[in-house]
Structure 1
Amino acid sequence: MDLSLAAFCLGLGMLFALATGIWVAVALFSVALAAMMLLVSAPAGPVLATTVWGSANSWDLTALPMFIWMGEILFRSRLSEDMFAGLSPWMRNLPGRLLHVNILGCGIFAAVSGSSAATTATVGRMSLPELRERGYDERMAIGTLAGSGTLGLLIPPSIILIVYGAATEQSIARLFMAGVLPGAMLCALFMSYVAIWALLNRSKMPPNEEVVPFFQRVKATRRLFPVIALIAGVIGSIYAGLASPTEAAAIGVVLSLTLSWVSGTLSKSSFVDALMGATRTSCMIAFILAGAAFLTVAMGYTGIPRELASWITAMGLSPLELLVALTLFFVVLGCFLDGISVVVLTTSVILPMVEQAGLDLIWFGIYLVLVVEMSQITPPVGFNLFVLQGMTGRNIFSVARMALPFFLLMILAVVLIVAFPDIALWLPNNMM
């Protein structure tokens, strides 16, 4: 069979499988098995067995369930209350005032969670009722939370960066370091937009609150010390070279359990719930990764990725044109799949093109996560939209409209890291 026709048929089969609503991992396994049985002579059974074992037998992936468990523990703690109390006194003099707490709170929680949905739910559970009670514009309150919640995918320890690193055999520590400056840049873009919006829409802002004295603000900041210690223990140990990502994840679990115990939120029920939540999420991701690994090997046997890379090369696309095409492709794909599925589903096909174009794979990982972040706030399958729909009772498309300015700011962030690659590469190139 002609390879272009085979690729079309397999792509059609994948779309059909996903449209039926079956698990993404099952769809991956099904299409890979069909490719092995119909297009190549290699025995499908032994290839399946060795590939699944190889995908699971990865030291880098051991960090994944630990970071997920850490996030689950903190989700059930008083962390969001402490962050709001510690940040809000300092935000009251800025244009936009407490709306900035959503952005900074999400940025801080992202640094100890690694999950976009957990970041949105944890910060929103505390901030939305407070902002509503104080008279802040609900559209902007929900929009800032939807956009800032996506920082959980980019700011380390990012679960999706671990998945990308395992799939592409890149250093997870370097990927974590590469995500710091783009994450800070995205926070700055969001806060700048909120400040400008507040200055232009003074009528939609609540009356000024009483200014908190400086020493009272310093006193409130003490409630941020536990989470700062947690970030320093986890991320600092990686950057200082004292621990690998896996060892840092174990440190994070111990510190988060300690923090939960000290705050009085650790109980047998919360411990079991966190453990089971982390187990379910980890198993789902491992199943998807196994399916993606089998699809990658199957595609390698068929020669389709090489053929596709040659076809792209023959088109004479510049690296910039390729990135524009990939951005459109990922945004459309993200409308129907979650971020992890997008990464594992496409890596085997696009990596030959990316390498052919001479793009740095560490930089490309950050670019990919930024684009995938957009899918968290695009209907009909935007995880942050689902979380906020459940919290606010608003229609998912209404929430998406509120998040639109932040979607556009993410596009600006992608443009900036394409124009200035050192935003992502300076830290890993100079600190490791």
Structure 2
Amino acid sequence: MDFEIWAGLIALFVLVLMGVPVVFAFATAAGIGLYIVLGGFEPMISLLQQTAISGIREYNFVVIPLFTVMGMLIAHSGAATDLFNVVNRALKGVPGRLAVATVGGNAVFAAVTGVGVAAAAAFSHVAYPIMRKHNYSRSYAMGCIAGSSVLGLLIPPSVFMIVWAILTEQSVGMLFAAGVIPGLILALLYASYCILHAKFWPASAPDSADHAELSKLSKGEIQSAIGVGILIAVTLGGIWMGYFTPTEGSAVGLVGAGILAVSKGMRPQAMYQSFIEAGRTVTPIMLLLMSAVVYSKLIALNGVPQQVQELLESMGLGPGGTLLFMAITWFLLGAVVDSISIMLLTVPIFWPIAMALGFDPIMFALIGILVIEAGVLTPPFGIGVLVVKAAVPDKNIKVSEIFMGSAPYWILILFVAWLIYAVPSIATWLPGVLLGG
């Protein structure tokens, strides 16, 4: 491939590694590449305008802000605290009970939010003070909060899956269904790790915490549990049963979350703040998606996927080796780039290659999402870890302690990714049953 064709891609990676915000790096790199390909400034600007506008008007993009607002309302209404308390009481006598309750609470919370950042912030305030009160070690407690917060990136309605579906033109509902069983497996592995760690290293989770007096459930906690359960059943069940599209389902879920928030006594000012916080979360994602649409156009015009495929074929890696190469690339990028950006950088290139090699699209999507998800917890970027560090009340804790505590969780994520490769039906069975895929 001529250097001119690589110019935009080289500029993109250089700008990202220099610390330029990815949204500007995408736009700049796409502009450079398209200028060279089209041979002029005016055609480059015209194509950029058409592509960006058509991209941001994509109907499926509406799902992202609606599910994000839904998650913020649930988080700020106090439902996250109630979920933690309900699960906590149900686990009386289990070693490392407070950590397991954090995993369980995050798993349920994930099913109504889809935003890992919201879960990380919520449980930093809910679970960490209680665990520290009962003398849980800081690394064990913080690692559990950061590690289990990423369940929201896999368990539907995951924003990760929405972005992947948009980039690859897959069914959002199909990917939502595919994430259920792997998400439950990952949550069970997390809970098992918490129990085993507490058994073998009891100093990190003293028995006193597991035998602490538990009060009866309050009326408000019962209401939250029932409300969240109904919200999950209506939103996801409606999508899977074909009563409405994922976009319509996100609107239904938002209305349900609003009703639940009002029933919890959430005031208009707090609801307004939830919308503002959701806007701060969604705006960078939407700008990234818009610039990534332009970047994808550059990739398609240059035939980069085909040429990368030829390069990998010349290396003799085979399908399994090629998938491993992609996974290593995703994992290494996780050390320096946030997860959404990794997806936007690589999926337009890797997806056509994977399809040409005959990989099942659902299996490949779940493996990609899981491996990229592991980057949320890996140093030095680890956005999940940094969010927890910023949100936790204890300002003396070091980032290194959180990275150490969360390491077993990203190892388990990679294990589940391998498990899906070995047994694809883990990801493909439920979509086939629910949606005929």
Could you say whether these structures have the same fold, taking a TM-score greater than 0.5 normalized by the shorter chain as the test?
Answer: yes
Distance change >3 Å, CA 239–CA 203, structure 1 → 2? same
Paired positions, count: 428
Structure 1 unaligned regions, length at least 5: none
Q: Which residue of 2 aligns with 1:22?
A: 20
Aligned-partner residue type, residue 109 of structure 2: F
Of 297-306 and 35-44, more deviation after overlay is shown by: 35-44
Residue 97 of structure 1 aligns with an amino acid whose one-letter code is R
Match of 1:236 in 2: 237
Cα deviation per residue 1:11-50 (whole Å; 9 max; x = unaligned)?
A: 4311221234332111111111111111344821222122
Q: Compared with structure 1, are the counterparts of its residues 39 and 250 closer, same or farther at alpha carbon in structure 2 (3 Å cutoff)?
A: same
Structure 2 counterpart of 1:425: 428
| Preserved CA contact (<8 Å) 2:238 2:249 | yes
How far the C-alpha of 1:127 sits from its partner, in A, is 0.7
After TM superposition, give the deviation of residue 6 of structure 1 in Å.
Answer: 4.3
| 1:151-162 correspondence to structure 2 within 5 Å | 151-162=151-162
Equivalence for 1:404: 407
Alignment partner, residue 257 of structure 1: 258
What SS does the corresponding residue of 1:156 show, helix, strand or coil?
Answer: coil
One-letter amino acid of the counterpart of residue 14, structure 2: F
| Secondary structure in 1 matching 2:155 | coil
Q: 1:210 to 1:200 in 2, by over 3 A?
A: closer
User: Which deviates more from structure 2 when the two are superposed, residues 242-251 or residues 313-322?
Assistant: 313-322
| Counterpart residue type for residue 68 of structure 1 | T
Q: Among residues 13, 36, 45, which one is paired with 1:38 in the alignment?
A: 36
What do the CA deviations read for 1:285-319 (whole angstroms, capped 9, x no partner)? 22111111111111222222221122222333222
The amino acid that maps onto 1:351 is W
Q: 1:93 is paired with a residue of what secondary structure?
A: coil
Distance 1:308 1:202 in 2: 50
Deviation digits for residues 359-383 of structure 1 (CA, Å, limit 9, x no counterpart): 1222222111111111111122111
Range with bigger deviation, 99-108 or 361-370: 361-370
Name the residue aligned to 1:367. Answer: 367
Amino acid corresponding to residue 344 of structure 1 in structure 2: L
Which residue of structure 1 lines up, in the alignment, with residue 277 of structure 2? 277
Which residue type is aligned with residue 69 of structure 1? V
1:332 and 2:335 correspond: no
Measured against aligned partners, the alpha-carbon deviations of 1:311-344 in whole angstroms (never above 9, x if no partner) come to 2223332222112111111111111221111111
Indicate the residue corresponding to 2:181 in structure 1: 181
Task: Note the C-alpha offset of 1:228.
Answer: 1.1
Alignment of 1:302-321 (within 5 A): 302-321=302-321
TM-score normalized by structure 2? 0.92
Task: Measure the CA separation in 1 of the matches of 2:93 and 2:226.
Answer: 22
Paired residue secondary structure (1:103): helix
Which residue of structure 2 aligns with residue 227 of structure 1? 228
Name the counterpart of 2:129.
129
**Alignment of 1:71 onto 2:74:** no
For residues 155 and 37 of structure 1, the distance between their equivalents in structure 2, rounded to whole angstroms, comes to 41
Q: State whether residues 85 and 223 of structure 1, in contact with CA within 8 Å, keep that contact through their aligned partners in structure 2.
A: no
CA distance in 2, matches of 1:224, 1:363: 32
Equivalent residue letter for 1:247: E
Paired residue type of 1:109: F
Equivalent residue for 2:249? Answer: 248
Q: How far did 1:259 drift?
A: 1.0
Q: Is the 8 A contact 1:330 1:342 kept in 2?
A: yes
Other-structure match for 1:94: 94
Note the C-alpha offset of 1:223.
4.5
Hey, what's the Cα distance between the residues in 1 that align with 2:32 and 2:211?
Answer: 67
Shift of 1:87: 1.0
Shift of 1:138: 2.4
Q: Give identity over the alignment, percent.
A: 28
Give the drift of 1:269: 1.8
**SS of aligned partner of 1:264:** coil
d(CA) in 2 for partners of 1:293, 1:166:
10
Asked if the contact 1:40–1:302 (Cα under 8 Å) also holds between the matched residues in 2, the reply is no
Distance 1:303 1:207, change over 3 A: closer
What is the CA–CA distance in structure 1 between the aligned matches of 2:181 and 2:389, rounded to whole Å? 30
Q: How far apart are residue 201 of structure 1 and its match?
A: 2.2
Q: Distance in 2 between matches of 1:135 and 1:280?
A: 35
Q: Which amino acid is 1:404 matched to? A: A
Q: Is the 8 A contact 2:139 2:401 kept in 1?
A: no
Letter in 2 for 1:419: A
Q: Is the 8 A contact 1:234 1:251 kept in 2?
A: yes
Q: Any conservation in 1 of the 2:116–2:149 contact (CA below 8 Å)?
A: yes
What is the aligned-residue RMSD (CA, Å)?
2.1
* Residues 34 and 255 of structure 1: CA distance in aligned 2, closer, same or farther (over 3 Å): same
Residues 80 and 131 of structure 1: is their aligned pair in 2 closer, same or farther, counting only changes over 3 Å? Answer: same
Assess if the C-alpha contact under 8 Å between 1:92 and 1:98 holds in 2.
no
Residue matched to 1:356: 356
Task: Give yes or no for contact 2:9–2:33 (8 Å, CA) kept in 1.
Answer: no
Q: Which amino acid aligns with 2:281?
A: T
